[in-house]
Structure 1
Amino acid sequence: MRQRRVLGVDPGLTRCGVGVVEGVPGRPCTMVDYTVIGSDPDADLADRLLHLDRNLAELIAKHQPESVAVERVFSQHNVRTVMGTAQAAAVAVLAAARAGLPVRTYTPSEVKAAVTGSGQADKKQVTTMVTRLLRLDAPPRPADAADALALAICHIWRGGTRDRLSEAIRTAKGRQ
């Protein structure tokens, strides 16, 4: 089984976590890089989205991932926060699509279950497990970066299997 490189995105307008991980399903992964793309909450929305898009495009070009994993936006009580998160997620999906990369979205509980074994884990538990799974000397900070790394791990472990299954189905249909 060959290693896969995945760029994980924990979307946010003010802080967007990005993590790049390499690995194969069921085996320990390796952290390639992580960062947080920030923007000024008082800046114009269009400028903030453009800033995010440019930074994601640069990171995709730099790290050459095979796929992108983005956290699926879920309903929160604060509509303004949901809107910003959804807009940031859409920019991430668009940046990946523009680069010709497949994109998979995961709910927070799917990611938590993949890295901790529990879909109810808190941020501290996710950060602790990401640190262990990637054999890091220190926890990735801030939590947005740890969440992005967790998304990438989740995709390698779960999405890789899904992608191979989908490809096998496409191949089988093509032979009919």
Structure 2
Amino acid sequence: MRILGIDPGLQTTGFGVVDAQGHTLHYVASGTITTRNMVGQPLAQRLKVLFEGIGEIVTRYQPDAAAVEIVFVNVNPQSTLMLGQARGACLTALVTQQLEVAEYTALQMKQAVAGHGSAAKAQVQEMVKRLLKLPGLPGPDAADALGIAITHAHAGQSLARLGDAARRGAGSAYRQGRTR
């Protein structure tokens, strides 16, 4: 399964693509879409760059699934609103390309990648490098996006196991309601 991870941001949106075969992960690509050079231009134009950039990535790498980081609430409400709009442009681009989209918090990603939710950016970068056997550290935004893809790879395997257990009849007593 090929997974596209997205770390949304209005100035810099990170992306990472991994192939998951069982418990084995393979790096495919990563990078950023930036609108830093567009500061001062209308917000709609910056969102268009994100939307089109995500579309190009999907066309180029043909992922089977996508995962996006959930926006945290910032101290500055205006920044939170702008980040939410950037995230919305990314989500819209993904569903327009007929991809199923999973969503994970930064805490969930840090736990999946580094083993604890308080991991610093440098720790996430180092663990992504190790997990994907990269020759060097990915940039912070690309590392977060790869971390989101890794999180989805792990979560997808867990959900598949739960689905298999349910199909085999495990927990069938719960489907009927409580019994004594």
TM superposition score normalised by structure 2: 0.85
Q: Which runs of no fewer than 5 residues in structure 1 stay unpaired?
A: none
Question: Paired residue for 2:28?
Answer: 32
- Change over 3 Å in CA distance of 1:13–1:158 after alignment to 2: same
Question: Paired residue for 2:82?
Answer: 84
Deviation digits for residues 42-73 of structure 1, max 9, x if unmatched?
22100000111011001001111011100001
| Contact 1:104/1:159 (<8 A) preserved | no
Residue 138 of structure 2 is aligned to residue 140 of structure 1: yes
Matches within 5 A, 1:1-176: 4-25=1-22, 27-39=23-35, 40-141=38-139, 143-162=140-159, 165=162
| Contact 1:69/1:152 (<8 A) preserved | yes
- Change over 3 Å in CA distance of 1:60–1:166 after alignment to 2: farther
Q: Which amino acid is the alignment partner of residue 47 of structure 1?
A: Q
More displaced 10-residue stretch of structure 1: 40-49 or 160-169: 160-169
| Contact 1:6/1:22 (<8 A) preserved | yes
Q: CA deviation at 1:23?
A: 1.2
- Change over 3 Å in CA distance of 1:54–1:167 after alignment to 2: farther
Q: CA deviation at 1:89?
A: 1.2
- Change over 3 Å in CA distance of 1:91–1:108 after alignment to 2: same
RMSD: 1.9
Q: Which runs of no fewer than 5 residues in structure 2 stay unpaired?
A: 170-180
Between the aligned residues of both structures, percent identity stands at: 39
Q: CA deviation at 1:99?
A: 1.1
Number of positions where the alignment pairs a residue of Structure 1 with one of Structure 2? 166
- Change over 3 Å in CA distance of 1:165–1:122 after alignment to 2: same
TM superposition score normalised by structure 1: 0.87
Q: CA deviation at 1:167?
A: 8.7
| Contact 1:24/1:156 (<8 A) preserved | no
| Contact 1:9/1:18 (<8 A) preserved | yes
Runs of 4+ aligned residues of structure 1 deviating over 2 Å after TM superposition are 159-170
2-side partners of 1:167 and 1:72: how far apart?
A: 28
Q: CA deviation at 1:168?
A: 8.2
